[in-house]
Amino acid sequence: MKPYPKSRKQRRVPLLPWAVRGLSRPINPTGCGLDHEDGSRCRDGLVFPSPRGGARDDRNFFRRVMHPALKEAGLAGTGATIHNLRHTYASWLVQDGVPLARVAALLGHASITTTEIYAHLAPTTHADVEAAVKDTFVGQTRGNASTDVPQHSPIQGAQHIA
């Protein structure tokens, strides 16, 4: 784990009230002490400082923290990773109807194309499509009510599908 995202750009994510309460304990005010890309020394407070107060050393994070947590959660041996947690977060957002552009911003994706891998998880209600199609064909029928067929102009250059 690094004290910055892959792009080294700042990012804000919404937190639920219970998460804010959990993070409201004193945060190390001295910062991690690591150098930023521009050469300046980090002075931002750390949410999860090491026992000595500096930045955590991620070299043994999985052995010390992740694996015991997975075991306690009954997920040992499942291949769960930090990336899986990020993927799950994005999946749940899309399944709950959060627009892909908003999910892309939360994940820090430079292009929405990257976020489109989650598009298949979006709610599959077709009411909006049915309403649009119905509105398109209202008043454009011929014949009697039992055999009404929509009339529409052929598209120039379109091929017939038999």
User: Which pLDDT score is estimated for 16?
Assistant: 84
Q: What is the pLDDT of residues 88-144, one digit of tens each?
A: 999 999 999 999 999 999 998 989 999 999 998 888 767 777 777 877 776 555 555
pLDDT mean over 33-60: 74
> Does the structure show a pLDDT above 60 at 150?
no
Percentages helix, strand, coil for the chain, rounded to the nearest 5? 40, 5, 55
Give residue-wise pLDDT tens across range 59-84.
Answer: 788 888 888 988 998 988 888 888 88
**Residue 110: C-alpha distances to residues 7, 86, 114, 135 (Å):** 9, 16, 8, 37
